[in-house]
Amino acid sequence: MTENNVLSDREQRSQSLAEDRAARRVRRQQEAFVEELNTLVNAAFVVVGRTGSLDASVREILKEAKLSNQAFYRHVESKDELLLLMLDAGRRSLVHYLDRQMEPCVEAADRTAVWIRGVLAQAQDEGAARRTRPFIAQVDRLAELFPDEQRRSEDLLISQVAEAACVPVEVATAIYDLAFGALARHLRRSTIPTDADADVLIALAQQFARRGS
């Protein structure tokens, strides 16, 4: 092996080590960034739940998060962008919750029933209702501000129920409208859906499923 080849191998090893260290540093920075951003989003959910409004001030959110104004603008350009992140977090949390609820079910009809009960549970739990009510109350505003994201959130849930109930998207959309229409009504009225309320929706959803199959 010539001296030039030795130097080349050394340079290659050095570069590989440098890249590895750089990757670790970037990974740590990314993890810290995500952690701080999650802190901000979670604090915004706390404030929204406490105030019942999407119009809480940035100052109030930062006070809850124990973060600075500089930290806020390091992660988002505006409060509307923070609202977008909250929409995404809320959507993913609900889908994950519904997946867990349906996991033990074997039959499509059982999964459909559990899915509907899981949606209505957002109005039965006091904490979930406080966090969800402002978004339901201002759904038109959210659709205007973030039409693509709002549609994506609906499509994700519609796809979930289509797979769970083994029905076409059109039927799943009707089941989605049924469940979330009832949820919105209960949240607006601050009422708690009963088992009987859920049973009626489940019966209707199963009729939709039979007709659509």
| pLDDT tens, per residue, the chain with 213 residues | 455 555 455 555 556 666 776 677 767 767 776 788 889 999 998 998 888 888 888 899 999 999 888 888 888 888 888 888 888 888 889 999 999 999 999 999 999 999 999 999 999 988 888 888 888 877 888 888 888 888 888 899 999 999 999 999 999 999 999 999 999 999 999 999 999 999 999 999 999 888 766
| pLDDT on residue 29 | 66
CA 21, 23, 25, 28 torsion-angle sign: negative
Quick one: how far is CA 175 from the chain centroid? 20
CB-neighbour burial class of residue 38 (10 A; exposed 0-12, middle 13-18, buried 19+): middle
Quick one: residue 191, left, alpha or beta (phi over 0 = left, psi -120 to 50 = alpha)? Answer: beta
Please give the domain boundaries of the chain with CATH numbers for all domains.
1-75 (no CATH), 87-213 (1.10.357)
| pLDDT on residue 110 | 95
| pLDDT on residue 210 | 84
| pLDDT on residue 212 | 65
Rounded Cα–Cα distance for residues 146 and 140 (Å):
10
| pLDDT on residue 85 | 85
What's at 25, amino acid-wise?
Answer: R
| pLDDT on residue 126 | 86
| pLDDT on residue 101 | 96
Rounded Cα–Cα distance for residues 38 and 173 (Å):
31
| pLDDT on residue 18 | 66
φ and ψ of 78, to 5 deg:
-160, 170
> CB under 8 Å to 166, separation ≥6 — which residues?
108, 209, 213
The reported pTM is 0.78
> CB under 8 Å to 175, separation ≥6 — which residues?
112, 115, 116, 161, 165, 167, 205, 208, 209
